[in-house]
Amino acid sequence: MSTATVHPGRLHLLRARSGALRLPRPGAARSFLAAGFAMVVLAVALQAQLVAGQDSLEELNAARVEASELGADLRASVAAAESPANVLAAAEEMGMVRPAAAVAVPAAPNEHAAVPQVDGSAGSR
């Protein structure tokens, strides 16, 4: 059989010798309260770290986008500067003359030309 006694500000259920329920000691309640408070502080600290990490990621992403745009602009300016019309214009400004038409040189030897043999003697095809 359990009985309830009222103390100023507290209600205690007493445990009878038979093992009925009662509230834990006041020291244990303080320990549970301290553990709960510590968990709340830990959760707030983790949330602050998460927000700081997200801010850092947003800054890195903005820098990546800016660098990507700069790279695209640089590639476009290099392509314009290396265009054949610009190269020829710059060469003419420097006093260079336009080359004559290129003559194609055949890559294969002439059929009638002598081809050296492995033993060092010359022969024909």
In a domain, 103, yes or no: no
pLDDT in tens, 49-81: 999 999 999 999 999 999 999 999 999 999 998
Residue 30 lies in a domain: no
In which domain, by residue range, is 83 found?
48-94
**Residue reference for tokens 């010798």:** 17
pTM (global) more than 0.95 = no
pLDDT at site 38: 95
Long-range contacts of 105-111 (CB under 8 A, 24+ apart): none
Q: Is the residue at 82 inside a domain?
A: yes
Q: With bands split at pLDDT 50, 70 and 90, how would you rate the model's confidence at 7?
A: low
What average pLDDT does the segment 2-25 reach?
56
Domain count within the chain: 1
Higher-confidence position of 33 and 7: 33
Name 88's Cβ contacts closer than 8 Å, sequence gap at least 6. Answer: 98
Enumerate the H helices of the chain as residue ranges: 26-81, 84-93
Using one digit for the tens of pLDDT, what is the confidence trace for 73-123?
999 999 998 998 888 888 889 988 777 777 777 676 666 666 556 665 555
- Residue 88 counted as domain residue: yes
